[in-house]
C-alpha cells in the first residue's frame, strides 16, 4: 500500500564556490548545529512515456535502491517548493498498478518505460535546533546520469539539496538560502534531477512548447486560453487526489470540469464549437459521474448535522443506525462509480482531447484576436440575459415543485455566468469581479434552497421506510419541517441577491 508525504525542498548549484564544501549554517534561523550523517549510494531508474509526459507535467516516477527509503517514488507538483511524494515498496521493475493509475491523467494511457538512470553519492547532514531536533536535511550529491532511451547520452554534475522535515517551517529555507547565497550558492536552474538529466543527457526537453503563436498578445483569445489552460492543468492534478479519496478532491474536480465546460460554452465566439461541443458533452458526463459521490457527501453532512443538532428527546427510534446503514451503502456505490469513470475509455479520450485543445486551440480568428473589453463583455452580457430569462419567471411563480425546479435551472445558469466572469476578470477587472461575486451569491442562495429540496425528499423516504419497519417516523418529520423552513428563508433572500446581480450587470463597463 502506497503512503504519501509532503516534500518541501530547494536545490542549489555553486557558481564560484566548491559545492563539496559546506558553509557554517549555525545561526540560520533556528539552526543551532549541523550533524554529519555519513554517505549514501543511491541508484534510481526513472520511468516515463517515450515523449516524457510525466516530466513535461512536472511529475516523476522512479524505482530507487540504496539509502533509507528504497522503493518506488511518485512525485507530483504542489505550489511553491513542495511536492507530494507517494511511496510504494520496492518490487520488480514493473511499475506498481496503483502508481500507474495515479499518473494516468498525465500519461493518458501511454506506456511507461525506463528513460534515465541516475546514480548519486550523497553526503547527508541534519540541521538541528537547540534541543537537537531535526529541522531539515541537507545533502551534497555527486550525480551521474545515463540515458536509457534511444539516445545513450551521459551527464554528470554536483548539487546541494535542502529538504524540510514533514510539517517543517518553510521560513527556514529562506534563512538557509541567505547564508548559502553569501557563499556563492545559487538556486539550481532545473527543478529536479530527472529534468536536469533529461536535458543534459538527451536534449529531449529542449523542444518543450513555448508561447502559442496563435494567441495574439493582449487579445480576447489569450485571456480565454489562459483560463482554459489553468483548468485543464487543475483537472490533471486533481485526478490522483480523487483516486486516493483525498478530502474535498471529488468536489474540486467536479467543479473544475463544470468551469471548463462553462468556459467552452460561454466563449463559443472565441473557440470553434464544432471542436469544443464534443468535449463539453464529455465534461458534462464526467461532472455527472463525480456528482453522485459529491452529492452524497453534501446530503450526508446535512442529514447527520441535522440529527446532531436536535435535542435528544426529539430523536426517537434507530435514527442514527438507519442513517449509518444508508451512508455505507450509498457511499460505496458512489465511490465505485467515480473510480469506474476514471478507468473508462471515455475519460481517457477526454484527457486526450483536452490536451489537443490546449496545444492547438480551435480559435475563431476574428473574435479571438479581438479587443477583450468588447468580446468578453459581450459574452458576459449574453450569459446574464440567459440568467435573467430563467430567474425572473422563477421568482414570479408561487411556491411548489415547479418553482423549485425553475430556481434550480436558474442556478445552473448563475454558475455559468460566474465562471464566465472568472475568465474575463483579468481583462475586465473590477466590473467582472463584481458581477462574478453577485452571481456567486445567487448561486449560493439558490443552491442552499435546492439542497433543502433534495434533503426533504430523502427525509420523506426515510419516514416511509421507518413506518414500514414499525419504527417511529417522528424525527424524520421534525427534520423535514426544519428543512422546509430553511428553504423558505433562502427563497426570501433570493430576490435581494438577484437585484444586486442585475445592478452589477447593468454597469457601464459591461454595456459598451
Does the residue 436 lie in any domain? yes
Among the candidates 147, 174, 201, a domain finishes at 201
The residue segments making up the domain with residue 144 are: 3-201
| pLDDT score for 352 | 96
**Is there a single domain that holds both residue 197 and residue 230?**
no
| pLDDT score for 149 | 80
**Is there a single domain that holds both residue 197 and residue 231?**
no
**Is there a single domain that holds both residue 144 and residue 96?**
yes
| pLDDT score for 190 | 85
CATH (domain of 40): 2.40.320.10
**Is there a single domain that holds both residue 319 and residue 396?**
yes
Q: pLDDT under 50 in the chain at which residues?
A: 208-210
**Is there a single domain that holds both residue 168 and residue 266?**
no
Q: 330: which 3 cell numbers? A: 450509498
Does the residue 210 lie in any domain? no
Does the residue 305 lie in any domain? yes
**Is there a single domain that holds both residue 42 and residue 70?**
yes
Asked if residues 141 and 161 have their Cβ atoms less than 8 Å apart, the reply is yes
**Is there a single domain that holds both residue 267 and residue 226?**
yes
CATH (domain of 270): 1.40.20.10
Does the residue 16 lie in any domain? yes
**Is there a single domain that holds both residue 174 and residue 229?**
no
Distances (CA, A) of 164 to 69, 123, 171, 183, 366: 16, 16, 10, 21, 51
| pLDDT score for 15 | 61
**CA-based torsion, 21, 81, 236, 1: positive or negative:** positive
| pLDDT score for 187 | 92
Distances (CA, A) of 463 to 321, 459, 479, 485: 14, 6, 10, 18
**Is there a single domain that holds both residue 130 and residue 267?**
no
Does the residue 208 lie in any domain? no
What's the rounded Cα separation, in Å, for the pair 290 and 250? 6
Structural domains counted in the chain: 2
**Is there a single domain that holds both residue 463 and residue 501?**
yes
Among the candidates 146, 172, 201, a domain finishes at 201
What's the rounded Cα separation, in Å, for the pair 415 and 263? 11
Does the residue 226 lie in any domain? yes
**Is there a single domain that holds both residue 188 and residue 246?**
no
Per-residue H/E/C for 303-341 = HHHHHHCCCHHHCCCCHHHHHHHHHHHHHHHHHHHHHHH
**Is there a single domain that holds both residue 236 and residue 384?**
yes
Asked if residues 173 and 10 have their Cβ atoms less than 8 Å apart, the reply is yes
Asked if residues 6 and 26 have their Cβ atoms less than 8 Å apart, the reply is no
Strands 134-147 and 33-48: what pairing?
unpaired
Does the residue 214 lie in any domain? no
| pLDDT score for 288 | 97
Does the residue 343 lie in any domain? yes
| pLDDT score for 204 | 66
Amino acid at each position: 500500500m502506497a503512503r504519501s508525504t509532503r516534500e518541501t525542498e530547494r536545490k542549489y548549484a555553486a557558481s564560484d564556490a566548491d559545492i563539496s564544501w559546506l558553509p557554517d549554517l549555525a545561526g540560520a534561523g533556528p539552526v543551532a548545529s549541523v550533524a554529519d550523517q555519513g554517505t549514501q549510494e543511491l541508484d534510481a531508474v526513472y520511468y516515463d512515456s517515450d515523449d516524457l509526459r510525466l516530466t513535461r507535467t512536472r511529475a516523476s516516477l522512479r524505482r530507487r535502491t540504496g539509502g533509507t527509503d528504497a522503493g518506488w517514488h511518485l512525485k507530483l507538483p504542489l505550489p511553491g517548493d513542495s511536492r507530494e511524494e507517494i511511496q510504494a515498496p520496492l518490487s520488480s521493475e514493473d511499475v506498481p498498478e496503483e502508481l500507474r493509475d495515479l499518473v494516468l491523467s498525465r500519461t493518458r494511457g501511454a506506456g511507461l518505460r525506463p528513460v534515465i538512470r541516475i546514480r548519486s553519492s550523497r553526503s547527508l547532514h541534519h540541521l538541528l535546533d537547540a534541543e537537537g531536533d531535526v529541522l531539515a536535511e541537507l545533502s551534497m550529491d555527486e550525480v551521474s546520469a545515463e540515458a536509457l532511451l534511444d539516445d545513450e547520452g551521459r551527464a554528470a554534475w554536483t548539487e546541494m539539496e535542502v529538504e524540510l522535515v514533514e510539517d517543517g517551517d518553510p521560513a527556514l529555507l529562506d534563512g538557509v538560502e541567505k547564508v548559502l547565497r553569501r557563499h556563492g550558492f545559487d538556486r539550481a536552474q532545473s527543478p529536479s534531477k530527472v529534468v536536469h538529466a533529461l536535458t543534459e543527457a538527451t536534449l529531449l526537453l529542449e523542444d518543450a512548447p513555448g508561447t502559442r503563436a496563435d494567441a495574439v498578445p493582449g487579445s480576447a483569445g489569450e485571456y480565454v486560453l489562459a483560463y482554459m489552460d489553468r483548468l485543464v492543468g487543475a483537472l490533471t492534478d486533481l485526478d490522483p487526489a480523487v483516486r486516493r479519496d483525498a478530502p474535498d478532491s471529488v468536489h474540486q474536480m467536479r467543479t473544475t470540469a463544470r468551469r471548463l465546460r462553462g468556459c467552452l460554452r460561454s466563449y463559443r465566439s472565441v473557440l470553434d464549437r464544432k471542436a469544443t461541443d464534443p468535449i463539453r458533452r464529455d465534461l458534462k458526463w464526467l461532472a455527472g459521474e463525480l456528482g453522485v459521490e459529491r452529492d452524497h457527501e453534501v446530503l450526508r453532512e446535512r442529514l447527520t448535522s441535522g440529527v446532531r443538532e436536535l435535542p435528544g428527546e426529539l430523536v426517537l427510534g434507530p435514527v442514527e443506525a438507519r442513517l449509518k446503514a444508508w451512508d455505507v451503502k450509498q457511499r460505496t456505490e458512489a465511490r465505485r462509480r467515480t473510480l469506474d469513470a476514471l478507468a473508462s475509455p471515455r475519460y481517457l479520450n477526454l484527457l486526450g482531447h483536452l490536451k489537443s485543445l490546449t496545444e492547438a486551440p480551435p480559435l475563431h480568428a476574428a473574435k479571438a484576436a479581438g479587443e477583450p473589453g468588447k468580446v468578453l463583455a459581450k459574452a458576459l452580457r449574453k450569459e446574464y440575459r440567459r440568467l435573467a430569462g430563467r430567474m425572473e419567471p422563477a421568482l414570479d411563480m408561487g411556491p411548489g415543485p415547479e418553482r423549485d425546479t425553475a430556481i434550480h435551472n436558474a442556478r445552473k445558469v448563475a454558475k455559468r455566468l460566474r465562471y464566465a466572469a472568472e475568465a474575463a476578470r483579468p481583462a475586465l477587472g473590477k466590473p467582472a469581479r463584481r458581477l462574478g461575486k453577485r452571481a456567486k451569491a445567487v448561486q449560493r442562495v439558490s443552491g442552499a434552497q435546492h439542497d433543502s429540496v433534495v434533503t426533504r425528499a430523502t427525509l420523506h423516504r426515510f419516514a416511509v421506510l421507518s413506518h414500514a419497519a414499525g419504527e417511529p417516523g417522528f424525527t424524520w418529520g421534525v427534520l423535514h419541517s426544519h428543512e422546509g423552513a430553511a428553504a423558505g428563508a433562502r427563497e426570501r433572500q433570493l430576490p435581494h441577491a438577484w437585484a444586486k446581480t442585475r445592478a452589477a450587470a447593468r454597469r457601464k463597463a459591461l454595456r459598451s
